[in-house]
Amino acid sequence: MTDIETIKSTDGGDFFAVERPMWAKVCARTSMNEAVAYLILARGAHFGTRDTAWSTDAVERYTGIARPRAKKAIQDLVQSGLLQQKRAGTKPLYHLPTAHEFENPPKPAVTLTDGEQAVLDMIAAAGGPVDVPYTSTAKNGWPRGRPNDVARALVRKGKVQHSASQVLHFEVTPEKVEEAPKPEWIWLPNSLVDGVAGAVAPIEQVRQTQDVVALRLFVDLYFSQSLAMNGGVHWRQVRREYDRHLVGQSGPYNVWGFVRGGRTGFGSATFIAPFLTNTMKTFTRDDGSTYQQDPGWPAFWAALSKLEQLELVQSVAHIIDADTDEGEVIHPYGMLAGEPGENEIAQEAYLAGERLLTSGQREWAADRRLWLLPVLRHIENVQMVGLLRLRHRARTAATAEWLSGAEGWSVWVDRYRDVGQKPASDQGDAISKGDQRGIQGASRVGQGGIKGG
């Protein structure tokens, strides 16, 4: 479950939404200016109607796009059908269609003559297949003329059809009502457009890169992030790797040391799949050796790096009980990133690990710059992974749930402070029987994990 699946509006909230399939179409078909203009207009849209009165003025106000180019971007969106203009003039009104509406535009109204309308009304009044005479008479009551010819004209216009059971009879063509699929909304903080405390707004920052795929990735990540369940984007989609070393053992604990490694992405992740081409290309390493890879992977890592450089996303280390389909997050281990409570857990866990080691083991770990963690021995598959987390967060129910769970971080801080300062049996009892109030997350299996930089 992602944040958008648990979201609830509170007092209007401070977030807006774009439909994920439609956002994909916008990014695939338009320029950077059009994609940015689409987000700005979405920021001002009424969620229920998807109508927005925001226009050129808003694009000019919230971005560095000059007025003539802002106006052109909106016009191009309208011309392509990605945006619908409901009212023109000095106070225009636009509608943001869903992907279903975009792919199934209303059919042009069929114009009927008075004679055609009269014949159609009589066929409809019959309530089923009816034999339409070739000529009208006072006795049969059909409109003057040749009603059968008129009925055939109505067939060509799609208003009536020949009966399947009685070929020579006519009946009204039933309207095909296709049920629209449930929209997939990407919920975005207003601060992405508005900015915070006078700083350049994130959307404007990404616009300045002139990289549409980076903008698409930035928005798509909000669809995949689940703070309440995982503390960020699930590690089976993209993650920072950490190599694990057994440093020592003391009482009921293994003391593990972790050192930062590379990054891994999974091609099944919804925000990675658009980059992939399903083809292979040969690349050359610095040492001259070669390897084959989908050329979309370097493009993905480059886009992600831009978002990291802009400090719009960060990687926060977490401890998981197993890197498997059913693994769970135990707690965060915020070293140089994350919330203050996450940083405190990392500090106390490190100090607890040090207390359980000999001087020689501490020196060995320090030489390798390992982050220490004491773990009960029965948790054999413990691992550290870096979870991607977006730094701008909306006031949603999902965010509130995550923040309420953060109260449990202080529990972990207290437990680690006790490790190495109580008898071994008491320490094991305190950790194993305590309420593991970490962030719980269901694992999602990725396909084809690919290493990044």
CA distance 298 to 276: 10
Same domain, 196 and 344: no
Same domain, 126 and 191: no
CA distance 430 to 177: 61
Report yes or no on 208 lying in a domain.
no
Helix or strand run (H / E) with residue 170:
strand 170-172
Same domain, 277 and 241: yes
How far the first Cα of the chain sits from its last, in Å, is 28
How many domains in the chain? 3
For 18, list phi and psi in degrees, rounded to 5.
-125, 150
DSSP 409-450: HHHHHHHHHHTTSS-HHHHHHHHHHS---S--------SSEE
Compute, in degrees rounded to 10, the torsion defined by CA atoms 291, 292, 297, 299.
80
Report yes or no on 178 lying in a domain.
no
The one-letter amino acid code at 229 reads: M
Structural domain range at position 156: 114-172
Report yes or no on 126 lying in a domain.
yes
Same domain, 256 and 380: yes
CA distance 102 to 80: 10
Report yes or no on 189 lying in a domain.
yes
The vertex-243 CA angle with 238 and 244, nearest 5°, equals 125
Report yes or no on 353 lying in a domain.
yes
Same domain, 368 and 436: yes
pLDDT tens series, the chain, 453 aa: 444 444 433 334 689 999 999 999 999 988 999 999 999 999 999 999 999 999 999 999 999 999 999 999 999 999 999 999 999 999 999 999 999 999 988 778 888 999 999 999 999 998 889 999 999 888 888 998 999 999 999 999 989 999 887 777 999 998 877 777 899 999 999 999 999 888 999 999 999 999 999 999 999 999 999 988 889 999 999 999 999 999 999 999 999 999 999 999 999 999 999 999 999 999 989 999 999 999 999 999 999 999 999 999 999 999 999 998 789 999 999 988 999 999 999 999 999 999 999 999 999 999 999 999 999 999 999 999 999 999 998 666 777 777 777 778 899 999 999 998 865 444 444 343 333 333 333 333 333 466 776
Same domain, 235 and 91: no
Same domain, 240 and 371: yes
CA distance 448 to 268: 8
CA 67, distance to chain mean position in Å, is 30
Per-residue pLDDT, 425: 47
Question: 141's torsion region: left (phi>0), alpha (psi -120 to 50) or beta?
Answer: left
Per-residue pLDDT, 432: 37
User: Among 222, 214, 216, 158, which Cα is nearest to 189's?
Assistant: 222
Record the pTM.
0.80
Per-residue pLDDT, 404: 72
Same domain, 72 and 119: no
Same domain, 194 and 256: no
List C-alpha distances in Å: 134 to 99, 140, 165, 166, 305.
45, 11, 20, 16, 74
Report yes or no on 109 lying in a domain.
no
DSSP 183-222: P-EEEEETHHHH-STTPPPHHHHHHHHT-HHHHHHHHHHH
Residues 259, 242 contacting (CB under 8 angstroms): yes
Helix or strand run (H / E) with residue 56:
helix 56-62
Same domain, 197 and 134: no
Per-residue pLDDT, 422: 60
Per-residue pLDDT, 411: 92
For 116, list phi and psi in degrees, rounded to 5.
-65, -40
Report yes or no on 37 lying in a domain.
yes
Report yes or no on 129 lying in a domain.
yes
Other CB atoms closer than 10 Å to residue 80's CB: what's the count?
14
Same domain, 13 and 33: yes
Same domain, 231 and 188: no
The one-letter amino acid code at 130 reads: V
CA atoms lying within 13 Å on the CB side of residue 329:
30
